[in-house]
Structure 1
């Protein structure tokens, strides 16, 4: 399994637009074989950072998802929303794998 961790730097004056954008990805990820773990908005502390996490069975499955969303109308609408509202200043994408407990043989 591979988990994509997205860290967004957002415009604090446009959190509502960012929330619409980031939560709009949940059904897109799900219908393309991923598991969405949630979207997180600023609450305490920094007011310009948001997160999202979702997983796919493999990096190859994630790459197929990336190909499919290029043709997905809902994804296009979300990209247009982000562009129109300028709610996202920048983002970083990190890929993670689950930690596994070591056995005596490892």
Structure 2
């Protein structure tokens, strides 16, 4: 599994517009085969930083998603909303391998 974390720098005066964008992508990622782990909106601390996290079974599946989203009319509408409202100033992506299964200290031999 591969997870993508997107760090957004958003316009704090356009939080409502960004939230519309985020709600659309929660559905779109699922529609295109991914698992969305949610958007994390500003609350305490910086008022212009938001994050989202989503996963695909493999990097190849993520790359397929990236190709298919450019042909999907709903994805294009979501991107156009962000462009038109200028709610996103910039963003960057990072990829990680998630660890979801824990173990007890005894099982780990600690």
Normalising by structure 1, report the TM-score.
0.91
- Deviation readout 1:40-62 (Å, 9 max, x if unpaired): 11011100000110000000000
Gaps of 5+ in 2: 103-107
Q: Distance in 2 between matches of 1:25 and 1:74?
A: 9
Aligned residue-pair number = 103
Question: RMSD of aligned C-alpha atoms?
Answer: 1.6
Once the 2 structures are TM-superposed, how far is the Cα of residue 98 of structure 1 from its aligned partner?
2.1
Larger-gyration structure (1/2): 2
- Deviation readout 1:19-76 (Å, 9 max, x if unpaired): 1101211111111111000011101110000011000000000000001100111111
Gaps of 5+ in 1: none
Give secondary structure in 2 for the equivalent of 1:98: coil
Give 4+ residue runs of structure 1 displaced > 3 Å after superposition: none
